[in-house]
């Protein structure tokens, strides 16, 4: 059986010396499944910011998880940090629209298969208050602060959780009661260190097992 992970730098394992310590590998090993890791650093769910035309946004890559027995979709952090568009609007460049389209695609393409959405966790990272693709205009800030578009990270998290509930798609909310501390569990305020990946892997594994799958 295969388990696919659609994600960004967190899923890629950015900052880890050994990629076998990333959460996706730990989950795959715990469940005795073959890992398919589709994590690309800097990617957004929506076709915005750095991913306006490069085809690396989650919507453009969602087909990669169509055939996996289990799929994990873990994103939204870069939409908060790097999008040049507000959350709401009509079109794939807007976060809410993009998440709704992604959820619809998952339901249509992955019938009878398990898909788990995972929300971002609160942290302290580097993002662009000017919105968009200009890394030189970035600066560090806490995710409780509003980004250039006037949104906090929690607003992105709430959209993921709400859309999953509306579509009867399981969602693991790492924003609440997760026990994750960016001071302790990240290497740079954002990207998990080995301890952080272990914590994320444990939460995902427990959630999947709670869904009463045959693991």
* CATH assignment of the domain containing 148: 3.40.50.1110
Whole-number Å distance between alpha carbons of 166 and 169: 8
For the chain, the domain total comes to: 1
Look at residue 35 and tell me whether its pLDDT is greater than 70: yes
Residue 54 lies in a domain: yes
Q: How many CA atoms lie within 13 A of 99 on its CB side?
A: 29
Residue 76 lies in a domain: yes
Residue 122 sits in which domain range?
A: 2-210
Picking from 185, 205, 203, the residue whose alpha carbon sits closest to that of residue 195 is: 185
- pLDDT tens per residue across span 197-212: 999 999 999 999 999 7
Torsion of CA 108, 112, 114, 119, to 10 degrees: 30
DSSP state of 62: G
Residue 215 lies in a domain: no
Look at residue 93 and tell me whether its pLDDT is greater than 80: yes
Pairing of strands 2-7, 34-39: parallel
Residue 22 lies in a domain: yes
**What share of the chain has pLDDT > 90, as a percent?**
73
């Amino acid at each position: 059986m295969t388990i696919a992970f659609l994600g960004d730098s967190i899923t890629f394992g950015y900052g880890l010396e050994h990629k076998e310590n990333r959460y996706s590998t730990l989950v795959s090993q715990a469940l005795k499944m073959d890992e398919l890791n589709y994590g690309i650093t800097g990617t957004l769910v929506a076709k915005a910011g750095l991913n306006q035309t490069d085809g690396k946004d989650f919507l453009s890559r969602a087909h990669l998880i169509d055939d996996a027995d289990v799929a994990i979709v873990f994103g939204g952090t870069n939409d908060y940090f790097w999008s040049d568009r507000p959350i709401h609007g009509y079109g794939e460049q807007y976060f809410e629209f993009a998440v709704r389209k992604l959820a619809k695609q998952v339901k249509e393409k992955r019938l009878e298969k398990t898909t788990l959405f995972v929300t971002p966790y609160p942290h302290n990272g580097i993002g662009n208050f000017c919105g968009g693709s200009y890394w030189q205009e970035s600066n560090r800030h806490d995710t409780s602060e509003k980004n250039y578009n006037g949104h906090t990270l929690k607003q992105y998290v709430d959209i993921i959780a709400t859309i999953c509930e509306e579509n009867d798609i399981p969602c693991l909310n790492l924003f609440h009661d997760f026990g994750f501390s960016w001071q302790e569990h990240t290497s740079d305020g954002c990207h998990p260190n080995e301890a952080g990946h272990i914590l994320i892997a444990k939460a995902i594994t427990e959630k999947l097992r709670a869904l009463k799958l045959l693991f």
